[in-house]
Every structure is written in C-alpha cells, then in structure tokens.
Amino acid sequence: MIRLKARKINVRSGGPDIVILNERIAKREVIKPMDRIRIIARGGSVVAIVNLSPEIPEDEIWLYKEIWEKINVPDGEEVLITIEEKPKAIEYIKKKLEGKELSEEEVFEIVSSINGNTLSEVESMAFVVACYTYGLSIEETYYLTKAIAETGEKLELNVRPIADKHCIGGVPNNRTTMIIVPILAAAGVYIPKTSSRAITTPAGTADTMEVLAPVDLSIEEMKEVVLKTKGCIVWGGGTNLASADDKLIRLRRPLSLDPMGMVLASVMAKKYAVGATHVLIDIPVGKRAKVRSFRDAYELKSRFERLGRMLDMKTEVIITDGSQPIGKGIGPALEARDVLWILTNDERGPFDLREKAESMAGILLEMIGKVERGEGIMLAKEIINSGKAYQKFKEIVEAQGGDPNIKPEDLSIGEYRYDFLSPRNGMIAEIDVRRISKIARYAGAPMDKGAGLYLYKKVGDFVKAGEKILTIFAESESKLDYAIKILEEKEPVEII
C-alpha cells in the first residue's frame, strides 16, 4: 500500500473516474497510465483510472471532483492506494472486437463497467466500434437492453397498463410526444414519457418541453407528477433511468455511430425502465432521414417487434413519411408554439403534426383497449377538440414546475430575422431536412431557445416569385449571419 495526501481538483472529469499521480512515484510502484488503483479513505473507497504528471508533488494524489465526492475525503488528508486488476469487461470487449458473440453475463459486465465509470473513454468506445463493425444478434440486443435498464434505477408506479412511444428521429419538429402524452393522460392512461435532448437536430422533445416547464426531474419527482396527472414529459438524462444509455449515446455521438442493436436497446431499455406495457415506435423514412429505405425500415420494425415480445411488452411499429419536416416551427420555442396552437385548436397549428399525433395516440388507445380497432383516432380528435388535452397538458406543465397559463404569443422568439423568398414561380419539390436542421442549428438552436426557423411552405405547395418560404430566427446578429451563409451555400428547398 502507498500513503499519499489527497488533493482536490475542483473540476469534473466528465467521464470515467480519474486521478493523477506523480510520474516518479508511479514508476517506482510499477503503475502505468490507464492502470487502475483503489483509493481508500475514511469515507469509503473507489477504483479510478491513473493519469500521470511530473508536475505534482511525489507525496500527493490529485482527485477529480467525482472521486472526492464519492469518498468524502478532506483536502490534504492521507489516503491509502492499492493496485487493482483491470476490469473483466476489457476482456469481453476484446472478444466482441474479434467478432464473437457475447453472453448475457459478459454484456452485463461491460454495461456495469461503463455505467460505473471504471472503463476509460477509449475502452468504452471500443465496445461501440465493435458493435458497429460486427453488429449485435437479437439475443445480444436483448441482453444489452436489460443490462442498460437494470444497471440504472427503475420507475415503480405499481399500475397497469403503462403506455410509451418513441420516434427514431432525424426529422425536424415532429413533436408528437407533447400532443400524444396529454391525449393519453386525459383518456386515463398512464404515460411517463422520458425524452432526449437534440443530438443532430435543432431540438429534442426535452429541449422543446423545457421552454414551458422544467424537464430535469429526479425519479421521485417524475413519479409524483405521473401519479398526480397520469403523464409527464421529462429529460431522460436528468433521471438515473437507464443511465448507461446516456453514456453510450455520448460515445456514439462524435462519429454518429448508430449500430442497429444499440439503437434498439437504447429505445427499449428506457421503456422497460418505466414499466411500459404497450409501446408504439415511429420510424420516419426519407432519403435524408436516419432511416433512408423502406427495406431498412421493415428490418428495424421486425427487430423492434421481436425484442418487444422478448421483453414482454406489446409493441407496434409504424413507418411514416420522413421526407420533409413535420410542423412549421423548427427550434425549441418555435416548436413549443406549434404544440400550443394545436392543443388550443388554433388555426395556426400545423395540420400535418396534429394529424400524425392524433393517429399515433389513436393507435395507443386501441392497443390498450380503450376503444375498438379503427376508433382510436376519433377519440384522440375528440379529446383535442373538447379542450381536454390542453387542460391535461396545463396540469402536467404545472406539476413539473412550469406556468400552466403561458400562451403561444408569450414565447420569446429570436429578434434577429431573415426571410428566404422564392426566386421564381413553381412548386416545392423537396425540402432537405438535413440542410434545414443545419441552418437552424447555426442560428443557435437548441441552446438558444428562441432560435430556429419557420416554414411557410411544404412539399407540393405552389409558390410565387418573392413569396416567403421560410424565416430564420436568431438571438444574435452573428448567429443569424452564420445561418444565412449556410442557406446561401446550398438552398434547402428545391423548386420546379
């Protein structure tokens, strides 16, 4: 054992648990970079990954904030250091890198190590790369789903049935969740919805809901909201539900790696963790969406349905049009405005978004048995038309700590604006969803809640020369200039 003085670094590593040792001390004790050591203090012990530096004193060990919070060690107090073996998970990751199939125990060990911050970024990334290169069998996907759910906390509502839904994403706006949840909850169905923040789009559902109410709720707060209102719309990363999934998503993001098995496990683990009994999956298909061919969509549909059966969740999958944005506003506040217009039966509410949300809500109502097959959409429409969905939405917003009386016109939209006008007469033949997303992100979305763009036209619409096609909104002049530059490099709308 080595005795060293603990020194606090008042910053977080943002990933694995890391400590820093003096190079000479490490060499004397045969400790190499990336080795594991156990730090033992009065407040407990923790295993961490070693970084080395010649700059720190030989009798000290520097601890990032995650470490000293875990073992509650005072600055300058002496701690004991022992050398630990590398996690078994590394051996199993190497096995997957060789293209071999993993057992349930091996998958659980890898996920536990990722979730417990005992693997380095490189080691964890190697697992993602192996899954991307060799794929995951349906059995491995099932093991991964359960491991992600079971290494985090679960929402225990002790009620049935519980509905949930998910969209694979890749299409701007598409804020069906914020309409479906109040419809289902108003119909008496529990629907505890965890949603993500944006990865490549101008807003995720959590970013948009955050315009109206806090979404960073604990599991206890989430449970309280759901038991009170029957629904919620919260950020999945704010809870400890399926927390390993958020770490895997962060690893996948830099290279945009989406191994099919990981996508399936990512979605279904969160449904499993909230106790969902009935799940609806939306797969938008379009040449610039995440899923670009119907062949891929049907393959994904088959796997979702099979995985749902393995997890004892009734799962239905719909394949929808992902060829253009859904709704008109793109960006958190602009999308929230669309949702409020729909729920309040305002004629400015985008029809395509409303129609899709009503259809999906109808399917869930039929799955659960609230109505006969074919009658769900009529009930969904009635719940919106009667104002029951809006009233329920206000209850959910208030329960989550927001202002239930906020109006669409109260939302702060970026003051710097640019109108993109049609250069000629013609018909809208295509709207490039990726280009639209890029423009909105350069304008500041989703970090700037009022940034984004608003579409006045859709595919199939006729336009006259000089007529507005879209408006870009930004919260600063410089970001508006960036967005305009992206638009001018390649126009996102094709007119024929």
Q: Three-state DSSP class for 383?
A: helix
Per the structure block, which two tokens stand in for 14? 């943002």
- H helices of 253-310, where? 260-273, 294-310
- How many Cβ atoms sit within 10 Å of the Cβ of residue 456? 15
What is the DSSP code (8-state) at residue 491? -
Residue corresponding to tokens 């969905």: 389
Residue 53 identity (one-letter amino acid):
S
* Cα distance between residue 296 and residue 206, in whole Å: 27
Containing 28, the helix (H) or strand (E) segment is helix 23-28
- How many Cβ atoms sit within 10 Å of the Cβ of residue 128? 20
Question: Based on the number of CB atoms within 10 Å of its own CB, is 99 exposed (0-12), middle (13-18) or buried (19 or more)?
Answer: exposed
What is the DSSP code (8-state) at residue 408? G
- H helices of 152-277, where? 177-186, 205-209, 219-229, 243-252, 260-273
* Cα distance between residue 258 and residue 289, in whole Å: 13
Containing 235, the helix (H) or strand (E) segment is strand 231-235
Asked if 258 is an active-site residue, the reply is yes
**Which residue in the list 245, 258, 282, 432 is annotated as catalytic?**
258
- How many Cβ atoms sit within 10 Å of the Cβ of residue 482? 18
Identify which of 65, 12, 4 has the alpha carbon closest to the alpha carbon of residue 39. Answer: 4
Per the structure block, which two tokens stand in for 187? 């119909």
Residues 322, 284 contacting (CB under 8 angstroms) = yes
Antiparallel, parallel or unpaired: β 44-53 and 163-167? unpaired
**Residues 291-320, buried b or exposed e (16+ Cβ, 10 A)?**
beeeeebeebbebbbebbeebebbbbbbbb
**Residues 239-278, buried b or exposed e (16+ Cβ, 10 A)?**
bbbbbbbbbbbebbeeeebbbbbbbbbbbbbbbbbbbbbb
User: Which residues are identified as catalytic?
Assistant: 258
